[in-house]
A = this chain, B = another copy of it.
Amino acid sequence: MARPPGHGPEYGVKRQEIIDQAAELFAKKGFAATSVAELSVVVGLAKGALYYYIGSKENLLVEIQDRVLGPLLVVAHKIAQLDEDAVFRLRLLSEALLTIILRRLHHVWVYEHDYRQLSGSNRSRLISQRREFESIVETLLRAAIQAGAFRSIDTRLAMLQFLNLHNHTYQWAHPDGAWDASYLSREYCSTFISGLRTRNYDVEALETRVVTFRAQHIEWTSEALLFTDHRVNS
């Protein structure tokens, strides 16, 4: 992915814009069904100039995936390392995940649909990053069981249910619909956690703790976590 060695300061900015416009197009028509020519029209640049920024069409796909998985893994690790109980961390993770899905709806759509079009190393890197996220979730679930909060269940299947419930949201969500990430997370977790918890675990208290936590750690807003720092080094 080596970029032409020297380029001005605006290069990175314009590049991001192009990637985001590509994400929108790909989300609407599909990666394979969208032509570079269409993209060049939307971007307002001749095809030649476009290639100066994008390198190749597949490269665009890689960048789009990165804009989903990059922030997601960063925040997932941060949350996983918090000194809080597992169910609470799961609740935070849920909200972070939904935040990305809603805020980067187009990117997520592409991420879910077209990762199979990647080839070779791009593909394997992607798959291992997906596994990384899955294992974070599964670890939290295992911790919740060990802590006696969840029934003793198949953690892999529980993790898959968690992902099903959250990831499929991109199919019907609207970025500025009535339901925001915080609301959806509350509802999803209400279902999911109530469904798996033992009698010991107090679901009612969970949401109160989330509110409190957020008040005390403003920098821990999903929004902040996901998009502040990360936008720089992408």
Contacts and interface: CB of A to CB of B under 8 A. Distances in A.
| Copies per complex of this chain | 4
A116 B167 contact: no
Give chain A's interface secondary structure class: helix
Contact of A30 (B28, B116, B190): B116
Contacts of A166: 164
Contact of A164 (B6, B33, B169, B195): B169
A112 B167 CA distance: 13
Interface in A163-180: 163-169, 171-172, 179
Contacts of A165: 161, 164-165, 168
A192 to B, nearest CB: 6
Interface string A115-136: 0110000000000000000000
A178 to B, nearest CB: 10
A187 B172 contact: no
A155 interface: no
Contact of A167 (B114, B163, B168, B190): B168
A73 interface: no
A194 interface: yes
Given A30-B117, A164-B166, 11 more contacts: A29-B116, A30-B31, A31-B33, A33-B117, A153-B187, A154-B187, A163-B168, A167-B168, A190-B195, A192-B195, A194-B194
